[in-house]
Amino acid sequence: MTEPLKIKGIVVNSAQWGDNDKMLTLLTKEKGVISVAAKGVKSIKNKNSQGVMPLCYSDFVLNDRGEAYSLVSADLIESFYKLREDVTSLAYGVYFAQLAAFTVGRNNYAEDELRLLLNTLYLLCKDPSRCDTLKCVFEVKICEYAGFAPYVDSCACGSDGEYFDISTGEVVCSLHRTPTSKQMSPGARAVCQYVQNAELKEALGFDTPAAIARELSEIIEAFMTRQLGRLPKGLEYINKII
């Protein structure tokens, strides 16, 4: 029998599985997204029940069962409990976790995505009113980590890009716009540029008016949809409640 795997991870999804069990989806640095069968954790008396709650970051010990891992233990490191006190914050937190897991996939090294997710959730707990800014920063950074960073410096002809082409991921001027180009304000372009060039902590600490953040998010989401085929379900829920 192989040695149990010790790994830190955040619970990005927790699905019902049997009467007392859950099937967990974890995002980890070393193995990307993994599935873990967690027996008995629905009972609050179970010693692992706290560490397997959605959006909890925990120290896991797992047995490798081929298709999925099985849970030996989960020791809570950070619960981000404040997210569970507010439905809007929770919706943003769930979406961030889903988007990170969605872009990482299985058996991929995910250091950048995990760091981005943990830092963003920490800041969201600290100040939920920054949710729109955190969302646009998260989305721009996740595109960069996934290998399809938007290019917003200028149109290929050298003119200012007043539009963003969601099929190519590049800004274009009014002369070179195409049917898939969306208008992009100078403010949204500047924020995107800043976020791409800044260190993660600076980018996440930067504040921008909600209207600009939402405009940038809308453009990046359209671009990500072209790149990824679809976006996680959590985004639909956010768009319903804001």
Binding positions for Zn ion, rule: CB under 5 A: 155, 157, 159, 173, 176
As given in the structure block, the two tokens for residue 118 are 């943990």
Least separation, in Å, of the C-beta of 187 and Zn ion? Answer: 20
Identify which of residues 66 and 158 has a Cβ nearer to Zn ion in the complex: 158
Identify which of residues 157 and 211 has a Cβ nearer to Zn ion in the complex: 157
Q: How far is it, in rounded angstroms, from Cα 30 to Cα 232?
A: 23
Least separation, in Å, of the C-beta of 71 and Zn ion? Answer: 55
Identify which of residues 139 and 170 has a Cβ nearer to Zn ion in the complex: 170
Identify which of residues 88 and 159 has a Cβ nearer to Zn ion in the complex: 159
User: Cβ(37)–Cβ(84) under 8 Å?
Assistant: no
DSSP state of 27: E
Least separation, in Å, of the C-beta of 221 and Zn ion? Answer: 24
Least separation, in Å, of the C-beta of 231 and Zn ion? Answer: 29
Alpha helices in the chain (DSSP H): 87-104, 111-126, 131-145, 186-197, 200-205, 210-228, 233-241
CA-CA-CA-CA torsion for 63, 68, 74, 76, nearest 10 degrees? 140
